[in-house]
Amino acid sequence: MKVAIATHKDWTQVSGHAGQTREWLLFDCRPDAPLPEPQRIALSKEQLPHHFKDDGPHPLHGVQVLIAGSAGDGFLRHMKTWGAEVLLTGETDPRAALQKVLAGEALPDTRFDVTTALCKVRDLFSRH
């Protein structure tokens, strides 16, 4: 199972605002195997989900689960068209969040993120 986690620029903390996140950790998880080392994916501005026009391949295509601190409704709908489930969490450690997901445990509730409110307004007019 491929899992992508939105992170801040230092790759060490789960980031909010998934639609604008450039740095993602991509884990290719295998059953009954140790947690793999992640691949670091840095998206260009054109590849950000808020801007991507679905007119070609994307580094996050094929990911089954995306984990982030926050995301707007447009991002959730857009990722669903890619076949990806979006999980939102207040967990700040990417590896801890992934381990909880793989163990079938609940993720901590999300943190307050003012940008989510702004996204809700923007999503009213979103093409997704």
Q: pTM (2 decimals)?
A: 0.86
Q: Hey, what are 55's tokens?
A: 């007119």
**Domain count for the chain:** 1
User: Is residue 128 in a domain?
Assistant: no
We report the CATH number of the domain holding residue 66 as 3.30.420.130
Q: Give the range of the structural domain holding residue 116, as residue numbers without chain letter.
A: 2-123
| Per-residue pLDDT tens digits of the chain, which is 128 residues long | 999 999 998 899 999 889 999 999 999 999 889 999 999 999 999 999 888 888 899 999 999 999 999 998 889 999 999 999 999 999 999 999 999 999 999 998 886 655 555 555 555 565 55
Do the Cβ atoms of 101 and 67 come closer than 8 Å? yes
Integer CA distances (angstroms), 71 to 21, 59, 103, in order: 10, 18, 23
Query: Cα(61)–Cα(49) distance, rounded to whole angstroms?
Result: 11
Do the Cβ atoms of 63 and 2 come closer than 8 Å? yes
User: Is residue 75 in a domain?
Assistant: yes
User: Is residue 102 in a domain?
Assistant: yes
